[in-house]
Chain A
Amino acid sequence: MSDLDRETRDALAELLLSMADDEFVLGFWDSEWTGIAPILEEDVAMSSVSQDEIGHAKALYELLAELTGDDADRIAFGRPPEGYRHAALMNHARTDWAFSIARRFLYEHADAVRLESLAASAYQPLADLAVKMRREETYHILHFDLWLRRLAEGGDDSHARLVAAIEQLWPDAQAVFAPLAGEACLVAARILPESLEPLRARWLERVAGRLQAAHLPVPTDAGGPAADGRTRRTDEFAWLHGEFTTVSGSEVGATW
């Protein structure tokens, strides 16, 4: 599909960048748990999950680089903080364990809904990658569904922290499905088999069902993603950006 017209190509580039940045930034945040997670098994698990996400980001940046004639490392590390397009959900620091689990729970289900749909994308390289990534993400879903239950039923402290984190993250989690500028064009080309709003509805249903099963409150409908859901950046993200560009910034041409 190198014969994409310019408008479709730009729209596809925006989609790939948004997905890659979601995985990349969350992978970096949660890699911070390596060595300091509540139990040893979680040091290993969170590191492994983060490695998966950064690997997925790399594959998506490479698809994007091929599409636009750019370089994957340049895209990953060569932008200022305001050039990133991750959902506002990934703007927050890792905070405490309940907060990180709440974010992973909300994100993993959003990512699953997105990948299920993209497995039927007319852009074959993306469809192929989505099929492969889904098999790996299955492990993430099982793991974080389990942690949601553990914290929900673990005691007053873990329950209260989890409820507060879900409440706080709820509006920004909608932003995973924030409309893309070229979305209509992607749907017309069947690159996005469905627009993002019905995907958000499917995600809401899944997440609400699991929250109810864990006797956790379901936050009231946030009324859809904010218009700046993928462009708003925070000081916390600016700090993380400084961390993950340390090597590329100090050694020009360094590769990961």
Chain B
Amino acid sequence: MVAAAPPRESAVWSALAEIADPEIPAISLVDLGVIRGFAFAPMPSGGERLTVELMPTFVGCPAIDVMRGQIGARLTELRVADEVTVELTFTEPWTSDRITPAGREALRVSGFAPPMTIGSTFSGDSLTVLPIATCPYCASRNTTLENPFGPTLCRAIYHCADCRQPFEAFKPV
């Protein structure tokens, strides 16, 4: 994707990749898959505006405003455009399948089981949304769901019967 990107676009992607998710700082906004894209456009008053499209993981995610603020501040620092706007978009739903392979590994290393891949259809049955999670500490599949709701909207709580550790999993959504 970035292979042929002009330097200005690459600089924006690199800057976005440095911004950590406010709730799970181990993963960047780019690896979380919440950046749909961005575009430069001339403004009627002259100068250029950079507009970033941000996809909320959950509609009610309270970290959205923090993300918006961080993206705006970081890209303004870059001085690649005269103004920076961050727009929320639901044009396509963010799904947990958008988390990159690097992002999934970053989640696992920091103690979160990455979400099971859903694929193109979301059937909504219990096996899809409440699957067996692999323990991020010992890789055991001998785990049980303790609570489909966790400390943030995007997390569920599991327990590993082998290493006897509670752990959190990112919800498939």
Looking at B7-15, B88-96, B102-110, the stretch in contact with chain A turns out to be: B88-96
- In the bound assembly, the distance between CA atoms of A125 and B56 in angstroms comes to 15
* Stretch from A40-48, A184-192, A193-201 forming part of the interface with B: A40-48
- Per-residue 0/1 for A36-55: is the Cβ within 8 Å of any B Cβ (1 yes, 0 no)? 00000100110111011111
A59 within 8 A of B: yes
Q: Does the CB pair A56–B59 fall under 8 Å? A: yes
Please measure, in the bound complex, the distance between the C-alpha atom of A136 and the C-alpha atom of B95, giving whole angstroms: 10
**Contact of A125 with B90 in the complex, beta carbons under 8 Å:** yes
A39 and chain B: residue at smallest CB distance: B147
Q: Given the complex, which residues of A lie within 8 Å of B94, measured CB to CB?
A: 132
Query: Measured between C-beta atoms, what is the minimum distance from B98 to chain A in Å?
Result: 12
By secondary structure, the B interface counts as loop
B149 touches A132 (CB 8 A): no
Residues of B in contact, count (CB < 8 Å): 27
Q: How far is the CA of A143 from the CA of B149 in the complex (A)?
A: 9
Which of A51, A131, A132, A138 makes the CB contact (< 8 A) with B153? Answer: A51
Contact A55 B129, CB 8 Å, known A49-B149, A132-B93: no
Q: How many A-B residue pairs have CB under 8 A?
A: 79
Closest to A46 in B: B149
B129 touches A142 (CB 8 A): yes
Docked-complex contact B148 and A45, CB < 8 angstroms: yes
A136 x B58 contact (CB < 8 A): yes
| Interface residue range, chain A | 20 to 34
Task: List which B61-84 residues lie within 8 A (CB) of chain A.
Answer: 61-62
Q: How far is the CA of A232 from the CA of B147 in the complex (A)?
A: 37
How long is the Cα–Cα vector from A48 to B60 in the complex, in angstroms?
10
A45 to B95: give the CA distance in the assembly, Å.
21
Residue of chain A at shortest CB distance from B148: A139
Q: List the 3 closest A-B pairs by CB distance, nearest first.
A: A55-B60, A48-B149, A45-B149
**Can you report 15 A-B residue pairs in the complex whose CB atoms are below 8 A from each other?**
A44-B149, A45-B148, A48-B149, A48-B150, A54-B60, A55-B59, A56-B59, A128-B90, A129-B90, A135-B95, A135-B124, A136-B58, A139-B148, A142-B126, A142-B130
Known contacts A55-B153, A125-B90, A131-B93; 15 further A-B pairs (Cβ under 8 A)? A41-B146, A41-B149, A44-B149, A47-B149, A52-B58, A58-B60, A59-B59, A131-B90, A132-B94, A133-B59, A134-B124, A135-B122, A138-B129, A139-B149, A142-B148
